[in-house]
Amino acid sequence: MSARNDIAPSTLGVELHDYGVEVEYLDNRTTVYRGVPEAVTGTLATAPGKEVHVLVTDPTETEGVMMYVNDLTSHDDVLESSGVGRVILGEDDEEELFPGVLVRRVPGHRFEIEADPEVARGRVFVFVEDDWGEDSYEFVAE
């Protein structure tokens, strides 16, 4: 099976804690993105070579949808069984992941994310990680 297909996300359980954001996948596994997300407005630019996960909650903040951006390690069947979506972007490509949430790939294996929480009708989180660490961001209204 290819590990490079776009996959539509499913609705996942979400719990917001003072120590991070917990996501419950369809297969009942959970993960916690640790730390209080840094507030961001405008455009978030990632460092090169980072994994990028975008989570948009519903207005109740108990459910959400998650997309992995250019994840080349997770197989399609794993993502489908977990409920996580994936989008693959070529250099200079951009895509609206959800209403009000735009991601574009820029040169140097970097990404730019823009989001308007009012249009998204929920909270918009971006988790940027690699083997050495993880950063959490939340888009807020200007």
Determine the length of the chain.
142
pLDDT digits (tens, 9 = 90+) for 111-133: 999 999 999 999 999 999 998 99
Domains and CATH numbers, the chain: 11-139 (2.60.40)
pLDDT digits (tens, 9 = 90+) for 28-46: 999 999 999 999 999 999 9
pLDDT of residue 65: 98
Q: How far apart are CA 31 and CA 35, in angstroms?
A: 13
**Could you say which residues of the chain have pLDDT below 50?**
1
pLDDT of residue 1: 45
Closest by CA position to 64, among listed 116, 25, 12: 12
pLDDT of residue 59: 94
pLDDT of residue 7: 95
Q: What is the pTM of this model?
A: 0.95
